[in-house]
């Protein structure tokens, strides 16, 4: 595991370095979703976009940023956009 961020309901999005996925984990520890990326060495994650529901993930082995959409905005994004 590497980078982590929470959504507004307390779910944790965790980058899985070497596996190339981002896991969405509930506050009780249950994996709710696993998003597969093109690269394997994902390092960090941030929520952004106009509604805070786009996840941006840095991927070291292919040297880019991948993105995907989620159902809830990120906690830190929401705090900055009150």
The string of pLDDT tens digits covering residues 5-59 is: 999 999 999 999 999 999 999 999 999 999 999 999 999 999 999 999 999 999 9
Residue with tokens 């506050």: 27
Q: What is the per-residue pLDDT for 29?
A: 96
Rounded to two decimals, the pTM is 0.91
8 Å CB contact between 32 and 11: yes
Q: How confident is the model at residue 1 (pLDDT cuts 50, 70, 90)?
A: low
Residues whose CB is less than 8 angstroms from the CB of residue 39 and which lie 6 or more positions away in sequence, other chains included: 20, 59, 60, 61, 62, 64, 66
The yes-or-no verdict on residue 74 having pLDDT over 80 is yes
């Amino acid at each position: 595991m590497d980078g982590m961020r929470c959504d507004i309901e307390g779910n944790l999005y965790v980058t899985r370095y070497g596996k190339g996925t981002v896991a969405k984990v509930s506050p009780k520890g249950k994996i709710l979703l696993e998003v597969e990326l093109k690269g394997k060495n994902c390092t960090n994650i941030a929520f952004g976009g106009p509604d805070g529901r786009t996840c941006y993930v840095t991927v070291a082995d292919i040297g880019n940023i991948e993105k995907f959409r989620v159902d809830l905005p990120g906690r830190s994004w929401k705090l900055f956009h009150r």
